[in-house]
Amino acid sequence: MNIFEPASFAGGGGAAEGMVKFALADSTRKVYELGWRKYREFCARHGLQPLAGSRRTVEWFIWEMANRPSSSTGRALSPVSIGAYCCGISNAYMEAGLAPPIDRRWLRRFLQGLNRRRDFAPKQAFPLSDRHILAMLRLCSGGKGLRGRRDAALIAVFFAAALRRSELLALKVRDLRFVYPPEGDALNLFLHIRRSKTGPGRVPVPWGRRILPVMRLRAWLGAARLRAEEYVFQSLDAAGAPSGLPMTRYELSRLVRDYAGRIGLDPAAVTTRSFRVGFVTVAVVNGASIFKIMEVTRHRNPSTVMEYVRQVGAFRNHAGGGFL
């Protein structure tokens, strides 16, 4: 039977819809769902139908979100959050087979104006440098039992592979492939990322000379004796043994803040994103090309990496460097 015939596709519409939803990363889907829920609550308060909204209805919602303090934080939504909520509304309309009632050009101008009015400065994660990572690893070497090995492997791999938090926590032993390059005898590593914001991918991690992520990971795996289907970075039980459960994002955040504080950094300024931002920053300082950086980070748009290049190179050959 021809697989493209309508009869052969009968009953497959639901599966196809599920595949479309699967295209969104978990974190993106959650933000979209939150934005759609907020919009439905707004419509309920004003006696409106969410899927029958006009452009004016959405503009009213956006204006309210921009000016109404949140019950949890006491602050109005940031322009970034408003933009994400609007994407959630558009996504819900498209899933319902309707044209989104949002004028993108108007939204872009509105958010630009909101930025100007609030004098809004976007938050940026503190970039951890290779020096910071080495200081954390020295603390791990003094740890007792498996905890020190796990923490050392986690810190080294998190930085060396420039992973997102969700990617690190989802790694399983089966996702690791140790390889020897055609030249040289150093053991390298490929991490297979099965689910990510930018889709599946493969991250190359070299043996290294100072941080040694591959060596530290092998030391942890050898000591923990994990099976192929187990998570690489697990919570530890009261006895300090792997629990079989993946670390939660809260455990990871606590671990990061703890090590940041112990090496003299402000724990409030360092987040799990600091590893990824730090890798890109240090790579730029060391002269890595944008495209080689993107092989590791898997950024889709070079302009994202270019922002780091501009920040790092802002004072190189400065126009006033010769006379200020």
* pLDDT tens digits along 264-320: 999 999 999 999 999 998 998 888 888 898 889 888 778 777 777 767 767 777 777
Is position 316 within any domain?
no
Does residue 163 contact residue 157 with C-beta atoms inside 8 Å?
Answer: yes
**137 plus 262 within the same structural domain:** yes
Final residue in a domain of this structure, among 118, 140, 167:
118
DSSP 231: B
Is position 30 within any domain?
yes
Inter-axis angle of helices 26-45 and 79-95, nearest 10: 90
3-state secondary structure of 222: helix
Is position 111 within any domain?
yes
10-31 per-position pLDDT tens digit: 555 555 555 555 666 677 888 8
**111 plus 139 within the same structural domain:** no
Instruction: Count CA atoms within 13 Å of residue 323 on its CB side.
Output: 2
> What is the CATH classification number for the domain harbouring 51?
1.10.150
**94 plus 182 within the same structural domain:** no
- pLDDT at residue 142 is higher than 50: yes
Does residue 246 contact residue 234 with C-beta atoms inside 8 Å?
Answer: yes
Q: How many residues does the chain have?
A: 324
Q: Look at 278 and 186; give whichever has higher pLDDT.
A: 278
Is position 96 within any domain?
yes
Q: And the tokens for 155?
A: 């810190």
**71 plus 171 within the same structural domain:** no
> What is the CATH classification number for the domain harbouring 174?
1.10.443.10
**144 plus 190 within the same structural domain:** yes
**93 plus 183 within the same structural domain:** no
Determine the Cα–Cα distance for residues 285 and 217; give it in Å rounded to an integer: 26
Confidence band of 201 (pLDDT split at 50, 70, 90): confident
Sign of CA dihedral 290, 291, 295, 300: positive
**100 plus 193 within the same structural domain:** no
**266 plus 152 within the same structural domain:** yes
**145 plus 256 within the same structural domain:** yes
Is position 143 within any domain?
yes
74-129 per-position pLDDT tens digit: 777 778 888 888 899 999 998 888 888 887 888 888 888 877 776 555 567 889 99
**43 plus 82 within the same structural domain:** yes
Please name the residues in contact with 199: beta carbons below 8 A apart, sequence gap of 6 or more.
Answer: none
Final residue in a domain of this structure, among 84, 118, 152:
118
**136 plus 262 within the same structural domain:** yes
Q: Which of 47-61, 117-131, 164-178, 214-228 has the lowest mean pLDDT?
A: 117-131
Is position 85 within any domain?
yes
**254 plus 136 within the same structural domain:** yes
DSSP 9: G
Beta partners for residue 204, in sequence order: 190
Give the pLDDT confidence score for residue 212 in this predicted structure: 95
Is position 109 within any domain?
yes
3-state secondary structure of 205: strand
Is position 73 within any domain?
yes
The count of domains in the chain is 2
Please name the residues in contact with 198: beta carbons below 8 A apart, sequence gap of 6 or more.
Answer: 298, 299, 300
Instruction: Count CA atoms within 13 Å of residue 248 on its CB side.
Output: 3
3-state secondary structure of 281: helix
Sign of CA dihedral 277, 279, 282, 286: negative
Determine the Cα–Cα distance for residues 30 and 81; give it in Å rounded to an integer: 12
Q: What order of strands is seen across the sheet that includes strand 176-179? A: 176-179, 188-193, 201-205
Instruction: Name the residue range of residue 46's domain.
Output: 12-118
At 193, which helix (H) or strand (E)? strand 188-193
3-state secondary structure of 254: helix
Final residue in a domain of this structure, among 118, 152, 175:
118
Does residue 193 contact residue 168 with C-beta atoms inside 8 Å?
Answer: no
